[in-house]
Amino acid sequence: MAFTSHSKLPELNTATILLVGMQGIGKHRLAGALLELNTSYSLQVRTATHLPLPAENSESRPRIDFVVFLLDANNNMSISKTVASAKELDVSYFLGRACFVVLNATSESLHCTDMSNITGLCDAHDSPMLCGSLQDENQRKCLARKLLCQTEVSSGFKHAVSPMLIQATKHTYEFMEPL
């Protein structure tokens, strides 16, 4: 059975973030950057190449607070794998506890699909989309900080802010036709 956001009790002062992305995309570099940011709570990063997660680990796995889908705009396989994995994630995560990160979004000439497909994917799952890169250290730290901000909200560390509030007040990516 796939994991849900409310099937386990949270642990004291911990946050768990799950990175889902194709092999070789740089999840472990991002995990390193996330762990380098000193936080007052303990952070655990879990990485996976696809969902659903193998059943053997479900006992020892803590409650996942935030799910990040990493996809590379230059790589067709990563996009298709992300689309397939996003279908497997429990629906309760798409209420502010998941987000999509697009890598290599700036190199237009190397894109293998229209950006509108990717923004369409994010709109279909009603989740925020972040663009970033994992090559440069500064950009990695920046991305890590953004993700950590959202994780803190969904772990409940921010008083009176819940993921649903963020979800309801964010704007979507459906652009209007230029007039």
Partner 1 sequence: MINTNVEIRLRKVLGRFKRDEFVKHLREWGSIPSGCLKEVETVVAEKSTRKALVERIVQLSNIKHLTTLDVAQLDLIYHQNHPNNRKWSVFQLTKQPEQNEKHVVTSPDAFRERLGKQLSFYFKNDLCLRTRGDAWWLRLGIQEGSQAQRLSPGNVVYMVHHPHSQYIIMSSIKVSHKDFVMQALLNSLHCSEIREIQLTGRDLDSLAALALHSNSQGWFSQFRLGQVDSNPLSKGPSRKRKAPSDVPDTDVVFENQKDKDHREQQILHAFGSNRQPKLQKIEYKLETRFRGFEFAPAMSLHKEPFHCRVKFEGSSVLEGIKELGRAGLTALPLPHHLANVHSLAKNHFVLADKKRTRPEQK
Binding status of residue 121 toward partner 1 by CB under 8 A: no
Binding status of residue 47 toward partner 1 by CB under 8 A: yes
The count of chain residues that interact with partner 1, using the rule CB under 8 A, is 23
Mapped onto helix, strand or coil, the DSSP state of residue 116 is: helix
Binding status of residue 15 toward partner 1 by CB under 8 A: no
For partner 1, which residue of 43, 134, 148, 166 counts as binding (CB under 8 A)? 43
Residue 80 or 172 with smaller CB distance to partner 1: 80
Bridge partner residues of 100 (DSSP): 69, 129
Contacts 24+ apart (CB under 8 A), 35-38: 36/141, 36/144, 37/141, 37/144, 37/145, 37/148
Tokens representing residue 3 in the block:
């994991």
Binding status of residue 28 toward partner 1 by CB under 8 A: yes
Residue 47 or 162 with smaller CB distance to partner 1: 47
Residue 48 or 131 with smaller CB distance to partner 1: 48
Alpha carbons 25 and 34: distance in angstroms, whole number: 16
Residue 12 or 176 with smaller CB distance to partner 1: 12
Using left for φ > 0, alpha for ψ between -120 and 50, and beta otherwise, residue 13 falls in left
- Judge residue 36's burial from the number of C-beta atoms within 10 Å of its C-beta, 0-12 exposed, 13-18 middle, 19 or more buried: exposed
Binding status of residue 57 toward partner 1 by CB under 8 A: yes
Residue 33 or 105 with smaller CB distance to partner 1: 33
Residues that bind partner 1 (CB under 8 A): 18, 22-24, 28, 31-32, 35, 42-50, 53-54, 56-57, 61, 77
